[in-house]
Structure 1
Amino acid sequence: MLETLIRWAAFFGGWLLVAGPLVQSRLELDAEASELSGIRATVEATAPPSRLSRWWWLFPPVAVYLTRRRQAAYVATLREVLTAEQMSKLAHFFAVARAWLLVASGAALIALKETYELSHHQHWEPWGFWALTAFAVIAIGGLNTATWKRPDSRT
């Protein structure tokens, strides 16, 4: 009985480790985005690279190379139209986003392990593991979306 309780607690704890970075990243990126408001018009006026044809994904290394090349050209264009300070703010925004993505990804791996151990302890079939994982992902996504208010909203 105690072992079952501990496994359920580890399951919930693992998924809370996923929810925490998602909420914190949203808060930090909202704050960062308010500093980028002056940059937004310039970035939107700069034409992004055209989308790569889906056919290139039949050859993934080529598709990745072409995508990176297009992105590098776009960044070079942005460097021409933005000031050094604006580029620094934009780079910081993306660095914060990448850092929180890494934290949330690591937490998701821990949560998957805890979910697997719970389902194994309960002697569930594999579909039980996947159903519980899907439920946790949907619950976290739904709660995160339901509690989010845009910083510019008046409600």
Structure 2
Amino acid sequence: MTIEIGQAAPDMELLNDSGEEVSLTDFKGKYVVLYFYPKDMTPGCTTEACDFRDQHESFAGLDAVIIGVSPDSRDKHEKFKQKHDLPFQLLVDDEHKLAEAFDVWKLKKNFGKEYMGIERSTFLLDKEGRLVKEWRKVKVKDHVAEALRELEQIAAN
């Protein structure tokens, strides 16, 4: 079952980069920008994470938290976060439960090989934890600015 616009985000706990158990319901009362990305330390994922980092204060000013999710280990997340000075949490979804709930765990093809992995996607949750906007098959360029504009519009209403 996939979460759809207007539905509440699933209540499941995942480990973050600091080793703490985190659930999306922990953030009720704030907007949540939940972005799924394939792999730490890769060029596209690094660019996206740094774009979110560079706009972190703008999102925080709108009462939003940014959360990155990938199947990477806590250790990899911790190194990625430290290397790029990321001011937000990264969640470990090594069993891809959250990715499956948001329908971003997909069959992918690269250089003729097929494998399962994350389809780069971003989801915006309202202060009650309901999905209000989604971006699927994200292209990194200008994505974070678009997500910020959307949040500004939603927060203004």
Q: TM-score range by the shorter chain?
A: under 0.3
Larger Rg computed on CA atoms: 1
Q: What's the TM-score once normalised by structure 2's chain length? A: 0.20
Q: What's the TM-score once normalised by structure 1's chain length? A: 0.20
Q: Could you say which structure has the greater relative contact order, defined with CA pairs below 8 angstroms and 6 or more residues apart? A: 1
